[in-house]
Amino acid sequence: MSELILDKARLGDFLKAVAKEYQLWTPAVVDGVADYRPFDPERPPERKIRTRLSIKRFFHPQRENMFRYSTDPEAQEANVLKETLPQGKTAVFGVSSCDARSVVLNGLVFVNDPNNPNQCPYYQARLDQTVLIGLGCNEPCATCFCHAVGGHPCGEEGLDLQFIDLGEKYLVKVLTDKGGQVASLHEMSPAGPAESEAAREVAKKARESMPGGFKIGQAVSQDLMAIFNLPLWEETAERCLNCGVCTFVCPTCYCFDILDEVQGQEGIRFRIWDSCMFPLYTLHASGHNPRPDKKERLRNRFMHKLKYFPDRYGGKLSCVGCGRCVTYCPVNIDIREVAARMKAV
């Protein structure tokens, strides 16, 4: 792993070089709303910006077209589905460590589950075609808690390159071959020992500035049915709107629906984000719904993230502590609080 140095004044030049080879996205604020947008050479990102939506969409977009087909009986291979894999190299700059980690966690489900012979070719294609350029968090924020779920404000998991803000310059860590190729698009000098040390110090200080002691994994009780039957769910559901805010802003909520749409005799099968908060998600064709009310749906979301997922994937939580759900939930359902109460009596 090599470490390089880029002057902050040269960031725009570096990104312009990347944008020549890749479709480049960076965080930007439009009308007060921060999100990933196509790179604007006139306005390179000058500071850490936390986007409302996560980088989930670069690997699992809200809509992913999967197949095309013709329903014209005269057509060759009528009604036979033809795969449409995503094409094009993408780079994302300014990625927080929590977001990057979500790509790895979701990858456990989509492409890296040792117990699942089936893998998702769409997720894999996007993994292969996408380069993630991280920007470490010098100052973790008020509602985030990556350290409580196994992450770190300057964590490297899932990233190809990582930038650490050293004031006047960035220390650039090359973490993968793909990252190396991107770093080579613009001249950077090797980092000296003092600069490497400064970066380590930034990461250490960032980590130390986070509140200690709280580990969500340990907060959750081991007995599935004991947590399932806690009064917590009914109490919390009382104010839950059952909207999809938490699931859509969440980097690790990956559930999807598969739909067909036809225009004339040309059809498309695609998947879209779905939410376990929606009644239709589990509704049987018979009308029976195994999770009929918001209490059951809210419970399933937290149980999935903090119990079912860890049960299946070696204790890893399906949460990266980005804090988005805490900030954007209209009724302030706080996963930290829920987790703390999931310790059965």
Within residues 126-155, the interface with another protein by CB under 8 A covers: 128, 139, 141-144
Q: Does 35 bind another protein (CB under 8 A)?
A: yes
In the complex with another protein, which residue's Cβ is closer, 110 or 163? 110
Long-range contacts formed by 196-203: CB under 8 A, 24+ apart: 196/3, 196/171, 198/166, 198/171, 199/3, 199/164, 199/166, 199/171, 199/173, 202/136, 202/138, 202/154, 202/164, 202/165, 202/166, 203/136, 203/152, 203/153, 203/154, 203/164
Task: Show contacts with another protein in window 55-84 (CB under 8 A).
Answer: 62-63, 65-69, 71, 77-81, 83-84
Task: Show contacts with another protein in window 263-322 (CB under 8 A).
Answer: 263, 266-276, 278-286, 288, 290-291, 296, 300, 303-304, 307-308, 311-312, 322
Amino acid at 215: K
Q: Does 219 bind another protein (CB under 8 A)?
A: no
- Nearest-approach distance from CB 150 to another protein, in angstroms: 19
- The helix/strand/coil state of 262 is strand
In the complex with another protein, which residue's Cβ is closer, 196 or 282? 282
In the complex with another protein, which residue's Cβ is closer, 13 or 244? 244
Amino acid at 296: E
- Nearest-approach distance from CB 116 to another protein, in angstroms: 6
In the complex with another protein, which residue's Cβ is closer, 62 or 189? 62
Q: Does 228 bind another protein (CB under 8 A)?
A: yes
* Those residues with Cβ within 8 angstroms of residue 160's Cβ, 6 or more apart along the chain or in another chain: 131, 132, 133, 175, 176, 178, 179, 182
In the complex with another protein, which residue's Cβ is closer, 2 or 204? 204
* Those residues with Cβ within 8 angstroms of residue 181's Cβ, 6 or more apart along the chain or in another chain: 131
- Nearest-approach distance from CB 242 to another protein, in angstroms: 6
Q: Does 20 bind another protein (CB under 8 A)?
A: no
Q: Which of 187, 201, 208, 261 binds another protein (CB under 8 A)?
A: 261
- How far apart are the C-alpha atoms of 296 and 282, rounded to whole Å? 11
In the complex with another protein, which residue's Cβ is closer, 4 or 170? 170
Site string for another protein, 157-196 (x = CB under 8 A): ----------------------------------------
| Cβ atoms 24, 15 nearer than 8 A | yes
In the complex with another protein, which residue's Cβ is closer, 83 or 208? 83
Task: Show contacts with another protein in window 91-120 (CB under 8 A).
Answer: 109-111, 113, 116, 118-120
* Those residues with Cβ within 8 angstroms of residue 135's Cβ, 6 or more apart along the chain or in another chain: 48, 93, 94, 95, 96, 162, 163, 165
Q: Does 214 bind another protein (CB under 8 A)?
A: no
First to last CA, the chain: 47
Q: Which of 25, 233, 248, 302 binds another protein (CB under 8 A)?
A: 248
Q: Does 326 bind another protein (CB under 8 A)?
A: yes
By DSSP bridging, strand 23-30 and strand 90-95 are parallel
Q: Which of 5, 19, 36, 51 binds another protein (CB under 8 A)?
A: 51
Q: Which of 7, 29, 41, 201 binds another protein (CB under 8 A)?
A: 29
- The helix/strand/coil state of 225 is helix
* Residue 12 tokens, joined: 């725009």
